[in-house]
Chains A and B, each alone.
Chain A
C-alpha cells in the first residue's frame, strides 16, 4: 500500500468519540490526583451527553465539595438523589454539607437515612457518632453560670498577652468570656463543636479523649484544655512558643477549676 493510500485511509476513518463512561473514568482519575477543576470539566461534558447519569451527578458533587463549593455540591447530590432517592453516598454528601452549615439535626437525619439503606457504611457511622454530641451552630445554649461564680472567675488573673479567654461547657453554653464580644455565643458553640469533633477523631485513631490542643490562625494561637465538663480556650499572640502557650493555658485551667468553674 502506498504512503498516499495509507494517509487517505487514515483521513477517511471516522474519528473515535470519547464515551461518557470514559469521561467519567478520566474525571475519577483527576479526583484521585487532586485535579479537581479538570475533573469537574470532564463531568460537565459527560452530563451534557448523559444528563440522567447518577454516577456523573455524584462525581460532580464530590468534585464541587473538594473545590469547597458547597452550593454546587449540594445541587449535584440532590440531582443524584432525584434519580436514585436512596443513594447512600449522595445522602452522605448532603449530610456533610448540612454539618458545614451548622445544621447538626439535618446532618443526623441524613446519616440515619443513609445507614438504613446501607448499614455497613463506616464513614456514616463515624460521622453519626461525632454529630450526636455536636451542638448546633445556630442555636447555642443559653448561659447558665450564676453571677457570683462569673464574678469569681473574672478575678482570676489571665496570662500576659491574652487576647481572648473562653470557658464553655461541652454543649456550647458560656461560663466565662473575656472580652465580651458580639460573637461570643457563636464562638462558644464553635469551640464546643471543634472539641467534640476532635474528640471523635482522636477516639477513632485509638488515642483516647482530648486533653490539650492548639489552633493556629492569623491573629494568634488558641490553646485549648478540655475535660468532660469544661473547655478552656485561651488565645495568645502568634509569637508565643507552643510549649509556653500550653503551659499558660494549663495554669489558667487549674486556677479556674480551683475557683469552682466546673
Chain B
C-alpha cells in the first residue's frame, strides 16, 4: 500500500468533502487530542485505509492484531448474547489502545502514558458516533464516497 492511500484526505479545493474524506478527517481530528499519538482506520480484513500513526510504528502487524481483537469482541459479544460491542480500551504501563467498530471495520487510537483515559475515551466515542453518522449520510452502497 502506498503512503498516499493512508494519509487522511483533504477537502477538495472549493468542493464538499466526500464521505471518505469526512471519515478520514474524523481520524485526523482524534489524533489532535492531547496525549494521542495517532490512529488507524482499518477494514475488517485488516487492510489499513488510513493512518495518522508516527512512522516508527509498523502499522500492518498492528492492524492485523487490532482487527483480530476487534473481530473477537464483535463475534464474542454477539455469540454470547452480550449485546453489541461499542468501544473498548486496553491500558498498559506505557499507554493505552482504544478500539471501536466502524462501518468500514475498526478504528484504533494510540494514547501515550500520562494521557487522560476518560477524556480520550469520551472523544473517541464521539468520533465513532460522528463516523457512523457520516456513513449514514451517504447511500449504503458507498456511491457517494
- Using a CB–CB cutoff of 8 Å, the interface residues on chain A facing chain B are 30-38, 61-63, 65-68, 73, 93, 96, 99-100, 122-123, 125-127, 130, 183, 186-187, 190, 193-194, 197-198, 200-202, 204-219, 241-243
Contact = CB atoms under 8 A, between A and B. Distances in A.
A68 B104 CA distance: 10
Q: Which 5 A-B pairs have the closest CB atoms?
A: A218-B83, A126-B61, A35-B142, A65-B45, A123-B64
B111 to A, nearest CB: 9
6 contacts: A36-B43, A38-B142, A125-B61, A197-B68, A201-B69, A212-B90
Nearest to A215: B88
Given A186-B80, A204-B65, A208-B92, 10 more contacts: A32-B47, A99-B71, A187-B82, A190-B72, A194-B72, A194-B73, A197-B68, A210-B90, A217-B86, A218-B84
Interface size class of B (residues with CB under 8 A): 35 or more
Given A216-B86, A217-B84, A130 B68 contact: yes
Interface of B: 1, 5, 20, 23, 43-47, 49, 57-58, 60-69, 71-73, 75-77, 79-97, 103-105, 110, 117-118, 121, 125, 140-143, 145
B65 A126 contact: yes
Contacts of A37: 140-142
Given A96-B68, A194-B73, A122 B93 contact: no
B62 to A, nearest CB: 5
